[in-house]
Amino acid sequence: MPVTSTDNPHALLYGLANGSVKPLEDDEAIAANKTLALQLQSRLQDFWLLSSPDGAWGPKSARALNAYKHFQNLSEPGINSHIAASLLNTNPTYLIPGFKLNGDWPSRTVMWLSLHNQHISTNGNDGEINIVYFRGLDLNGQWNGNAPFVWNDRRCVLVIKDQVPSFAGNWLGTCDPGEYYWENPMNDKGCADIQAWQYQAWSVGHHHGSTGDQLALVQTGDIIVLRGPERLPDKGNNFSVDQHTTNNPDGDSPGEPVKGWSAGCMVGASANEHYDEFMSLVQADPREKNAPGKYQHWTTVINGNEFLDIFPA
C-alpha cells in the first residue's frame, strides 16, 4: 500500500505498513515523532478511542493504542507494519469481532465490557439483556458531576440484536446510598456503596424494606461494597444490596435528593419504569424463563468519569 504524498493524513502510517518507515518499538519512540503521533492519534479517534489529536503522545494516547490492540488481538509492542496495516484496513464498525459498532453510547459500552474482559450477553434477538449502571451520567451519557445523595445515575439495559448494540432501557436511578442511610448506616462497618465492577449476583425475587414488598432483583451472590467514609472493602452475598425502586410512580427529577430510598441498593427512581419496563425486560430474558427466580443476572457498575475518559463521547 505505497503512499508517496505527504498530504495524505496517514502518510507515515502507510509508510510503516509498507516498510518504508521503520517500526517504533515503544511509546517513547512514538512520542519523539510528533507527526506520526498525530497521524496515529487521528486514526485512533476514528475508533472512538481519543478526542482532539494534538501530536503529544502521552499516557492517554498509549492507553488508546493498547485498547485497539486488545480489540484486535494484537500483542506487539509499539507500532510496526502489522499494527499499522491493521489500523489502516480495519473498518471501525468491526473493531470488535462479533459486533457492529458506531461509536454511540451502547457501542462504547460494549467496548468497555470487552476491554475489561467482562461478560456480554449477545442473544438480544431472543431477549437476553445486559444490566449496566453508570454513575454520574445523564440521559445523554454526559458527565453530570456525580454529586452525592441525589438522583444522578443511569440504569440501562443493553441488548445486542443482529450484532448491533442498543439500549432497550435508560432510566434515572442511583447505585449509591441516600444521605439518610449514609448518616445512619444499617451496618456497624458503615453504609454500603457498591464497588464499580461486574457481578453475577442477582435473582428475581422480592425486596423487603421501607418501600414495602417489591418485585425486584435481590442479591444472591458475592459482590464487593465500599463501606463508610474510609471506603473499606467488604465482600459477601448477604448485604441485601438489591435492585428495586421507590414508591413514586413517576419518580423524582435528576438532582433531587435520594433521601431514604437507598441504603446502598441500586434503585430506579420511577416505580412505573421499574415494574413496567425494567422488570419486564428482566423476566423476558430466556435464561430467567428457564429458571425463574434462580438464574443469577449479570450486572455491571461503571463510574461515568472513567468511562468517558477511556471512551470519549
Mind listing the pLDDT tens digit for each residue in 215-228?
Answer: 999 999 999 999 99
- Cα separation, 15 vs 21, whole angstroms: 5
Q: Output Rg (C-alpha) for the chain, integer angstroms.
A: 22
- Cα separation, 73 vs 297, whole angstroms: 28
- Cα separation, 75 vs 92, whole angstroms: 19
- Compute the C-alpha angle 218/302/306, nearest 5°: 165
Mind listing the pLDDT tens digit for each residue in 271-286?
Answer: 999 999 999 999 999 9
The domain locations on the chain are 11-90, 105-310
- Cα separation, 292 vs 29, whole angstroms: 56
CA 269, 281, 111, 47 torsion: positive or negative?
A: negative
Residues in contact with 285: Cβ distance below 8 Å, sequence separation at least 6, in sequence order: 127, 128, 129, 295, 297
The whole-chain average pLDDT of the chain stands at 95
Mind listing the pLDDT tens digit for each residue in 33-43?
Answer: 999 999 999 99
Quickly tell me which residue has 474482559 as its cell: 117
Is the pLDDT at 242 greater than 80, yes or no?
yes
Residue type, 1: M
DSSP assignment letter at 43: H
Other Cβ atoms less than 10 A from the Cβ of 51: the count is 14
Residues in contact with 122: Cβ distance below 8 Å, sequence separation at least 6, in sequence order: 98, 128, 160, 163
Strand stretches in 14-152, DSSP E: 130-135
Is the pLDDT at 6 greater than 80, yes or no?
no
- Cα separation, 296 vs 288, whole angstroms: 8
pTM given for the model: 0.95
Assigned CATH topology for domain 11-90: Muramoyl-pentapeptide Carboxypeptidase; domain 1 (1.10.101)
| Predicted local confidence at residue 211, as pLDDT | 67
Quickly tell me which residue has 435473582 as its cell: 203
